[in-house]
Chains A and B, each alone.
Chain A
Amino acid sequence: MQGYSGWKVFKEGLRRQMGWRQAWRDPVPQESYDVVIVGGGGHGLATAYYLAKNYGIRNVAVLEKGWIGGGNTGRNTTVVRSNYYYPASAALYDHSVKLYEGLATELNYNVMFSQRGMITLAHSRHDLEAATRWVGAMQLNGVDSEMISREEIARRVPALDMSPAARYPVWGGFMQKRAGTARHDAVAWGYARAADSLGVDIIQNCEVTGMVRDASGQVVAVDTSRGRIRAGKVAMTVAGHSTVLADMAGFRLPITSYALQAFVSEPLKPVIDTVILSLATGVYISQSDKGGLVVGGSLDLYPSYAQRGNLPTMRNVLGAVAEQYPSLGRVRFLRQWAGIVDICPDSSPIIGQSPVPGLYLNCGWGTGGFKAIPVGGTLLAHHLATDEPHELARSFSLERFTTGALIDEAAASGIAH
C-alpha cells in the first residue's frame, strides 16, 4: 500500500501529483472466494479488512452493486458516539469509538475523527430525570457521559435559544466528550484501500441477483450481474436492502426500510462546535469541517427505498432548527438527501448467523450504523473466521426476536438513533 504522509503530500506537490497510485484495484471477479461480502459500504469494507488483518483470511471479495460507500455510508450525518443505555450496547458502541480513535493511524487514512463532543438537551423535568438515569447507567457502563448545566450549554452553543420562554426551554442536558464526527466517505475509502492492499478484491458495479444453495440448503454461491461467484461463506452488509437479499435466500427478517433524510447548509465560518441533539424535537445538528451545518431528524414514517423523503418531515426538522437556533433562520439550506435505513423493532443491530447455513448477517443498524462501522466489521469478521459470535455480539443475534430478549434502546432511553 502506498503510504500517505505530509511528506508525501509535499513531494507530490512538487511532482504535480503524478506519483499517486490507485487507492484500490479494479480486479476481475474470480470464480470463487473463501468469503464473499455483499455490500461495499463501511460495514462490508471493514469486515473485509478485519478478515484479512486479524485472521489472515485474504481470499475475500466485496461485491458492491454501485460504487463503494454509495449507500448509507455516504449519506449519513457523520455522528460517532457511544452514549447508550444498556451494557451490551454501551460495550458495542464504545468499542467502536475506541477503534475510531485509532482508525486514521491504523488505516493510514485521515478519517478526520473529531471528538468535539455531543450534547443531548433536556427540555423538561421528566427529560432531566430520564437523562440522569441514562448518564448513571452510562457511567456504570464505563462510558464517558456527564450531566451538564444550562450555563455550560449556553457557553458551548451560543446559537441555541436558552430563553425560559422557549417552547422547549433548555433545562440542562448531558454530554459525551469523546463523541463527535468523522468524514464518512473517508471511512469507506480508508477501509477499502487498506483491505485492497491486503489482497481483498473490491468489485464494484456488481449486483447480486440471486443466492445459490446446495441440496442441504447451504449458500454456496451468488449470482451477480457479472456472473456467478462461488463462496465458502457469504455475508450480507447491505443495510436497507437486507430483506431484498434475505428474500433471495428464502428467509424473512424483522426489518423495515425507511428513508432517513439529512440536510446540509451553505458553508459558513465556524458557528457550531459540537454535536447537539434535542430530545424534544429529535433534531440534531453539527458543523462539518467544510463549514456546512449538517442536520438530521426523524424518519419519513412509511417504508421506502427511494432515498429521498418528502416535505412534511423536512418542515418538521428544519422548522425545529429555525425555532431552537433562531439566529440560523437566514442560513441557507443547500442540499437534502436520504438513505435507506433498516429499522429493527428494538433499534439494535443483528449480527451473526442467518437461518440459512453459510450466510451471515450484519444489519438492523437503522439510523445508527455509521458510528458502528469499525465494530460491525470486527464482529462480523470474527464470526466469519471462527463461526462463533464475538463476545460483544452475543446479545445481538437474530434469535433474540424469538426469545423476547430485545435490547430496546429507544424504549429505555428514547434517544433517536
Chain B
Amino acid sequence: MTSQTFRLRSGGYVDRSRPVTFHFGGKTYQGFEGDTLASALLANGVRLFGRSFKYHRPRGLIGAGVEEANALVQLGSGGRSTPNVRATEIALYDGLQAQPVNCWPSLGFDVGGVNNLVSRFLAAGFYYKTFMWPNWHLYEGFIRKAAGIGKAPTEDDPDRYETRFAHCDIAVVGSGPAGLAAARAAARSGARVMLIEQDSVVGGSLRTDEAQIDAMSGTLWAEHIGREFAASPDMQILTKTAAVGYFDHNSLVLLETIGNEALCAADPAVARYRLWQVRAQQVILATGAIERPIVFSGNDRPNIMLAGAVRHYIARHAVLPGRKAVIFTNNDDAYRTAVALSDAGARVVALVDVRSHIAPDLAQQMASRDIPVHAGSAIIDTKGGKAVRAARIRTIDDRSFWIDCDLVAMSGGYSPAVHLFCQAGGKLGFDEEHACFVPGGRAQQARSAGAAAGRFTISEAVSGGHEAMVDALAELGFACDRPVPACAEERQIMPLAPVWHVAGGKSKAFVDFQNDVSVDDIALSARENFVSVEHLKRYTTLGMAADQGKTSNVNALAIMASLTGQSIESTGTTRYRFPFTSMPIGSFAGRARGALFRAMRHSPAHDRHVELGAHFEDYGGWQRPSCYPRSGETLEAAERREARTVRQAAGMFDGSPLGKIEVVGPDAGRFLDLIYANTMSTLKVGMVRYGLMLNELGVIIDDGVATRLAEDRFLICTSSGGATRIAAWLEEWLQCEWLDLDVIVAPVTTAWGVITLTGPKARAILTDVGTNINLSADAFPHMSYKEGKVAGIDVRVLRVSYTGELSYEINVPASLMALLWDRIAGAGVVHGLTAVGVEGWMLLRTEKGYLHIGGDTDGTTTPLDVGWSHVLKKKSDFVGRRSLLQVENQRSDRLGFVGLEAVEADVVLPISAHIIAERPGGIESDGYITSAGFSPTLNRGVALGMIRGGDRRMGEIVSIRTPAGIRKAKIVNPAAYDPEGERLRA
C-alpha cells in the first residue's frame, strides 16, 4: 500500500478522519472521504490512468470533472461492473474496485502499445482506404476486438433506477457564482425555484478560486445561500444532479446520482440513479465554462493537465498534482494555478505565456514567488513515457531549451458550456475577445449567465445571474426583494491571445485525446476536402468519443478554420446533442421493469384459471389460458380434449377481454351504419348481428357482434385486441367528422366479465345453475339477446357462437364473475363440463371456418376477400366503402378466404405454409394457410387459408409447401364441421 505522498497536510474538502481503502489496477491505495477516484490516485502519486483508444498511448488525467477525456475506468465487478466511468466523477468509497481499460495485460505494459509505433500508418480514415480485399469480413473481427474501451457486464444489472417528474417556476442550472446569485435573487419572491448542481456541493468555481462577495469569502457566501434555500419551502436544491437535456417547451432532463456500488449492494432499496423530468416556466443556464487544452506537440503525456483542474485538486482535495510544474497559457487565468501550486509547496519552474505583454501585476506576482516567466513563448514538445518529465520551451527570440518537470498545466482559454442552450434550439455567436462561442440571445425560455454566457469575472457572473433572475421573475409576475450582491473589486483582465495550434516539435499534437485525433489528422481532413465541421468530425472521429468533444471541439474547428481560411464563426460547431454527459441505459427504464414493464392485463377470473392449473400465454396484451392441462397431459393433448369435450358435452370459456362498447343515442343506428360495412340500423331490439368494421382503405380492422338493447341503445363487441382501439375509433369519427350525430360511446369492457357456456349440454347446465330466462329455442333463438338473472346475478346473455355449438355468452358484472364461474363450474360437473382455453377455442372455430380477424386476415384483407361482397349492395355510405370500388380491390386474382383439406388423410397441414404454383418466372406463392389444427371431432386435419382467386377455385387440388415436403390439398368450404349450422340453432 503506497502512501499519499502528494497529499497536502491541510486544506481541501476531504475528511482526513475518514480514510478510505480502494483498489485500482490490482494495487491497493488509501484516500479520504471527499476524494474522487482521480484525486485519491493522484494523491498516491499515480500518473498513468489509461491507454488511448487507437494508439494505446499512456495517458493521465487532464481534468477534474465531466470534461475528463483520458481517465476512464471499469468500476466494480460482476453484475455491478460499469464500463467507461470517468475517474474524476467517481466519489470514493471504502472497498471501491476499479480497473484501467483498453490495455492488456496491464496498464504499465500494454501490448496494444505497438499501435503507437505504427501510428503513422493509422492516420484518420485509413480504414476507408484499405481492408477491402478480399472483403471487410477478413479484418472486421480483429478491428472489433481492438475497438471499444470498457467491457459490458455479463450479469443482469441489479441496480434500482427511479424516475421523478417535477414542475417549478424557475429552474437554475449550475450553482457557481452566477447560479447562486440567480437563486439568491429569487428567495422570498414566492416563485418556486429549483437549483440544479452536478457537484456534491454548491459553489462551483467558488470552491476552487477565491472570491469576495457580500463581504465574505466565496465559499461562505455559497454555503449561506445554500442554507437559505434549504430552509425555504419554495426552493429546492438538487446536488449530484446533472442537467443532461433541454427539450421542447422548457422541459429539462436531469440525472441524479443517489447510491454508489457499495450502498446499492448493501441495500437494494437504495436507488443508483434518479431520472428527473422537470418542466419549468423559465430557465437560467449558469453552466459555467470548460477550459481548453493547448494543442502542441507532445501535449498528451500523463500529467499534462488543464490549469483549472490543477487548482481544483489543490483546493478541493488537498492534492498536489506535481512538484515541478510548468505552466503554459494564453490567458491571465492560468496564473492563478501558478500561485496555487507555489502556495502549496510546489516549484513552478516556468510560466510560459504566448503573449508578449504580461499584465504588470501578474508579472510582479510571479516575480515575488520566484517563478520565471517566458513571455511570447510556447511549449513546443515534451518528453516522458509513463509521465511527463520535460518540456521544451521556445522563447520569444526563437531559442529553445528543455526544462525538467513532472507537471504541465495548460490553458488555452475557456469555452462556455452551451450544450443545454443549443439543445433548446439556441444559436451561437463567436466572441472574438474571449475567443469562444457564446449564446446568441435566448432559446425558448432560457437565459444564460456567468461563464456560460461568456462573462468570466465574478462580478459579471454575479450581476448577470441576478439580472437574469430579476427578468425571469418579472415575466412570471414575481419580484426580487434584494439588490445585486456586492463583489470585491477584481483586477483588470488582459485579453487572451488565441493560439489554436503551436507548430514545431516532433511528437504528435493532439486535439481529441480520447480518440487520438491530432493536428495532422485535421490537416489530412482538409487536404481531402472534408472541411465542413461535420465531415471533419465523422472522418477523423474527433468529438465522437465518450467525452463528446468537450475539450476538443473548439480547438478543432478553429484549426480547420485557419486551414480553410474561413472565420471560426462561419465554420461553426457540430450539433450539441442530448445527453450532456452519458447516462446508464437502465435510468430510462426506471421502475418500469419486470411486472411493471408493459403491464399485462388480466381477466376478473384470473385466479380461477390459476387454480385450475392453466397454461398462460400473452394474447394481445392479455394473459389468458391457452389450455388447462391435466396432470401428465401435453399442451396439445389438453387443447384437443377441451375442444372435443365442447362438442360432446360442454365447455366454459373466459371471454372477458372481448371488447364491449355501448353506443347510445337517437342517432346510434345511423352511426353504426356508417361504421360497419353491413347494416345495423335494421337490427330489431333484442336481436344480435355479426358485423365487420373497415378502415377507409376498405381493410377489415375488426369484427364482432352488435346487439340492440333498445331503440337508441346498442351493445357492440369487438375482438379482445380491439377493445381500446375501436372505442377510440368510434370517438374519433364522432368528434372529428360527424359532429352533428347525437350519440354517446361508452366503453364498458372492464365493467363486464364474460363466461361463454357452449356445447350440447349448455342449456341443461344453465338451467341447473338457475335462471329466470326462458332458454327454449323459440323464446331465445340463436343470434338474440336476453337480460335476466343467472345464479341470482343480473346478467346480459347473448346467444352467439364462435364454436358452432349452442352457446350462451353471459356478461356478468366483473366483480361477480369469479362467483358465477364457480356456480357454473359446480353445476357443470355432472354434465362433463370442462374449462376451455384460447387454443381449444380457436380449434373449434377453425373447424367451423369462422374468421379470425388478424389471424386469417391481415392489413390488406377486405370484406370482398372473405365472401362479403354483399356489403356493396348496402345503399348508404360507410367507412371504407369508396375504397372497395377501386380497381385493385375488385380484382379477381386477389387472395380470398377458403378452407383446405389435405388429400392424404393423415396429414395435418401446418399454419403459415404457403400454397405454391409453378409460373414461368419460377415457383410463386399463391397464398398461405392461416389457421390449422387436428380436429378431434372429425379426426383429421382442418385448415383455412387465403388463396389467389379465393373460392373461385373450389374443388381444385393445390400444392402446399411444408417443412416435410410438398403436400396436396383440396380447396373446400371453410366450414369443415356442420356447414349447415344445425348445431347452432339447437
* Chain A interfacial positions (CB closer than 8 Å to B): 4-6, 8-10, 12-14, 16-18, 20-26, 66-67, 70, 74, 87, 104-105, 108-115, 123-126, 129-133, 136-137, 140, 142, 158-159, 167-168, 183, 185-186, 189-190, 204, 265-271, 281, 287, 289-291, 308, 310-311, 314-315, 318-319, 321-323, 326-337, 403-406, 408, 410-412, 414
Contacts and interface: CB of A to CB of B under 8 A. Distances in A.
Given A289-B147, A403-B888, A16 B528 contact: no
A311 B251 contact: yes
A323 B557 CA distance: 40
B156 A326 contact: yes
B401 interface: no
A372 B544 CA distance: 26
Given A129-B911, A404-B889, A408-B860, A267 B84 contact: yes
Contacts of A130: 912
27 contacts: A4-B130, A5-B133, A8-B130, A9-B130, A22-B529, A105-B132, A124-B619, A125-B626, A133-B928, A159-B152, A268-B148, A268-B150, A269-B149, A290-B148, A290-B541, A315-B588, A323-B593, A327-B79, A329-B157, A329-B585, A330-B82, A330-B585, A331-B153, A332-B585, A333-B582, A335-B577, A404-B886
B129 interface: yes
B546 A266 contact: yes
A328 B913 CA distance: 37
Nearest to A167: B597
A114 to B, nearest CB: 6
Given A281-B598, A327-B152, 10 more contacts: A18-B527, A23-B528, A105-B132, A113-B135, A287-B144, A321-B585, A322-B157, A330-B153, A330-B586, A332-B83
Interface in B102-149: 118, 120-123, 126-133, 135-137, 140, 143-145, 147-149
B270 to A, nearest CB: 16
A311 B132 contact: no
B577 A133 contact: no
B578 A336 contact: yes
How large, as a class, is the contact surface on chain B? 35 or more
A124 to B, nearest CB: 5
Contact of A408 (B84, B600, B618, B859): B859
B221 interface: no
Contacts of A159: 152, 154
B448 interface: no
A367 B320 CA distance: 54
B961 interface: yes
A290 B545 CA distance: 10
Contacts of A23: 528-530
Contacts of B151: 268-269, 271
A326 B155 CA distance: 8
Contact of A17 (B159, B527, B548, B582): B527
A356 B126 CA distance: 44
Contacts of B53: 267
Nearest to B721: A126
Interface string B616-629: 01110000001000
B858 A411 contact: yes
Contact of B859 (A104, A113, A411): A411
A115 B135 CA distance: 11
A267 B149 contact: yes
Contacts of B524: 17, 20
Contact of A327 (B154, B527, B618, B855): B154
Interface in B228-272: 245, 247-248, 251, 253
Contacts of A183: 128
B436 to A, nearest CB: 23
Contacts of B156: 326-327, 329
Interface of B: 53, 79-84, 118, 120-123, 126-133, 135-137, 140, 143-145, 147-157, 159, 161, 245, 247-248, 251, 253, 277, 520, 523-524, 527-530, 532, 534-535, 538-539, 541, 544-546, 548, 575, 577-579, 582-586, 588-590, 592-595, 597-598, 600, 617-619, 626, 697, 699, 855, 858-860, 883, 886-889, 910-914, 916, 922-925, 928, 961
Nearest to B144: A270
A13 B157 contact: no
B127 A110 contact: yes
Contacts of B121: 9-10, 13
A270 B148 contact: yes
Give the interface centre of A129, A190, A269 by most chain B CB atoms within 10 Å.
Answer: A269
Give the interface centre of A24, A183, A329, A331 by most chain B CB atoms within 10 Å.
Answer: A329
A131 B912 CA distance: 8
Contact of A291 (B133, B148, B860, B889): B148
Contacts of A332: 82-84, 546, 582-585
Given A114-B140, A136-B925, A319-B597, A6 B128 contact: no
Nearest to B248: A310
A332 B89 CA distance: 14
B506 to A, nearest CB: 12
Contacts of A405: 888
Contacts of A270: 144-145, 148
Contact of A266 (B127, B145, B149, B589): B149
B593 A186 contact: no
A337 B253 CA distance: 16
B920 to A, nearest CB: 14
B148 A269 contact: yes
Contact of A328 (B120, B579, B585): B585
B928 A136 contact: yes
B132 A110 contact: yes
Contact of A16 (B120, B135, B532): B120
A136 B960 CA distance: 11
Contacts of B579: 333-336
A140 B589 contact: no
B869 to A, nearest CB: 17
Contacts of B925: 136-137, 140
A106 B959 CA distance: 42
Contacts of B578: 308, 335-336
Closest A-B pairs by Cβ, 7 of them: A411-B859, A291-B148, A329-B157, A329-B586, A13-B121, A404-B888, A132-B912
B148 A330 contact: no
A328 B157 contact: yes
A104 B860 contact: no
B577 A319 contact: no
B859 A410 contact: yes
Given A140-B924, A337-B577, A403 B887 contact: yes
B511 to A, nearest CB: 15
Nearest to B84: A266
Contacts of A190: 128
B655 to A, nearest CB: 18
A12 B527 CA distance: 13
A110 B127 CA distance: 7
A312 B498 CA distance: 42
A159 B151 CA distance: 13
Contact of A108 (B132, B157, B159): B132
B399 to A, nearest CB: 27
Given A269-B148, A334-B548, A404 B887 contact: yes
A349 to B, nearest CB: 18
Contacts of B523: 17
A8 B277 CA distance: 52
Contacts of B155: 327
A268 B544 CA distance: 14
B582 to A, nearest CB: 4
A22 to B, nearest CB: 4
B528 A22 contact: yes
B913 A136 contact: yes
A267 B961 CA distance: 45
A267 B546 contact: yes
A87 B530 contact: no
Contacts of B585: 265, 318, 321-322, 328-333
A327 B154 CA distance: 6
